[in-house]
Amino acid sequence: MKNKEIIFVVLLIISLVGALFLVRQRQELRRGAYYSNGRIILQPEDRIDAAVGDDVTVRAFFDSPSGTMVDNVHMVLCYGDQIDLPDSELASRVEFVADSGLVNDDNIVLKKEYDGENCVNVIAMANNSATLKDGINHFATVRFRAVSTGNGNITINTDRSKMTGSNPDTESTDHNIALEVTNASYSISAANDNNDDSNNNDDSNNDNDDTSSGADSQLNYKISFSGVKSTAKCADNWNVKVVVMGNGKNVTLNDTVHRDGELDGRAVYRGSVVVPNYAQYGSKVAVFVKGPKHLQMKFGEDNQSGVYNTAGGEISLVSGNNSKVFNFAKLPLLAGDVVGNNSTSQDGAINAVDFSYIKTKALAHENFNDGTYVLADLDGNCSMNSRDVDIVRQSLNEKQGQLY
């Protein structure tokens, strides 16, 4: 009997130790969790062309979903040997933007080499919870100096960079925001000794090109996708292309949209892009949005509910960070542009090739785990079935994406 009691006590102790270990393990996992998603974006997206001696300027933005208030961004920028941040000018070459809510006397700029790469730590912190912001916000400008010829990249080191926010769940210890990044590139040519004289003597060109170095504008918008209900489990963080067009010019910007409510049973998504030198597109613009498996749709006015068949648009952009959100969600993006006639890429139209692709996939009746992205799953319900065929059949009436 005593032996049985001893064995029972030993087993009980082992069970308690195991339970304590599991609890501790869950706590450690919880500490490493993310409570939201976000991005750090470098602008401009196009390659920066400069000469030796010129400045190579990038603007850094943080982007967070509605309600995710950012209170700290630690960005590690790494760059090639063709550009530099002189130690004696470091403080003046990294500027923090007050409107971002992340200006603090304790903000840090520190150069350091990581894995053989030249890098700079840019740490922006909030000192007042009342000024925290969500959405897309310009928080820092970094002006490198071109020192030698060649091509290179300015990249955000995702392993060392970090963004945190004020978690609305007061009982949670999670403050980390999972990061996606958009990087920049440059091409440095030999110095031109005549640059200064030519720029100083060509006043007429400078007067006519004020918008080439003008202010940026933040464009916030909401969209929806045809067939995607608010209950969809495989329709999150979809990538879209946004085209801003006006005054005979246009710019294409990439974005990732996030859930932000519902409308008539459809899921509504919010996105934000920064339009560089926005004044060059005129006082009124049109906005075109194309989803990952959708036709490009034109939006010429706020709260648009039908096809906009008038040339141009009536959307006004303003300088800097903007709280205005344009509602394009009443006209859902039409789904079905998934493949081309001779390729697996979108071709800007919905036709028999797309229909055949969707129908073939639907016959498999394949199901997926929540959060899985599948091209043929048009309604994002984690399954390929007849519902997807019905959606592409309805979209066939439009066939061609809007281009102007």
Residues 6+ apart with CB under 8 A from 187: 47, 48, 49, 50, 150, 151
Confidence band for 28, pLDDT divided at 50, 70 and 90: very low
Tell me the mean pLDDT in the region 314-330: 90
Tell me the mean pLDDT in the region 316-323: 85
Predicted pLDDT at 169: 64
Q: Are strands 34-43 and 55-64 parallel, antiparallel or unpaired?
A: antiparallel
pTM for this entry: 0.53
Residues 144 and 258 both lie in one domain? no
Within a domain: 240: yes
Within a domain: 297: yes
Predicted pLDDT at 13: 55
Total count of domains within the chain: 2
Q: How far apart are CA 346 and CA 350, in angstroms?
A: 9
Domain boundary (192, 223, 250) is at: 192
Q: Tell whether the model's pLDDT for residue 297 goes beyond 80.
A: yes
Domain boundary (192, 227, 259) is at: 192
Confidence band for 243, pLDDT divided at 50, 70 and 90: very high
The region that residue 389 occupies, defined by phi over 0 for left and psi between -120 and 50 for alpha, beta otherwise, is alpha
Within a domain: 202: no
Least confident of 97-101, 177-181, 191-195: 191-195
Predicted pLDDT at 203: 40
258-295 residue pLDDT tens: 999 999 999 999 999 999 999 999 989 999 999 999 99
Predicted pLDDT at 31: 39
Tell me the mean pLDDT in the region 372-376: 93
Q: Give the domain CATH number at 315.
A: 2.60.40.4130
Confidence band for 396, pLDDT divided at 50, 70 and 90: confident
Residues 80 and 139 both lie in one domain? yes
With CA atoms as reference, report the closest residue to 56 among 122, 121, 123, 152.
152
Confidence band for 210, pLDDT divided at 50, 70 and 90: very low
92-145 residue pLDDT tens: 899 888 778 887 777 889 998 998 999 999 998 887 777 788 888 888 999 999
With CA atoms as reference, report the closest residue to 235 among 293, 289, 179, 287.
293
Which range marks the domain in which residue 52 is found? 34-192
Report the 10 Å Cβ neighbour count for 372. Answer: 12
Residues 219 and 353 both lie in one domain? yes
**Whole-number mean pLDDT of the chain?**
83
Residues 289 and 365 both lie in one domain? yes
Q: Tell whether the model's pLDDT for residue 334 goes beyond 60.
A: yes
Predicted pLDDT at 97: 86
Least confident of 2-11, 83-92, 131-140: 2-11
Confidence band for 83, pLDDT divided at 50, 70 and 90: very high
Residues 158 and 221 both lie in one domain? no
Predicted pLDDT at 46: 77
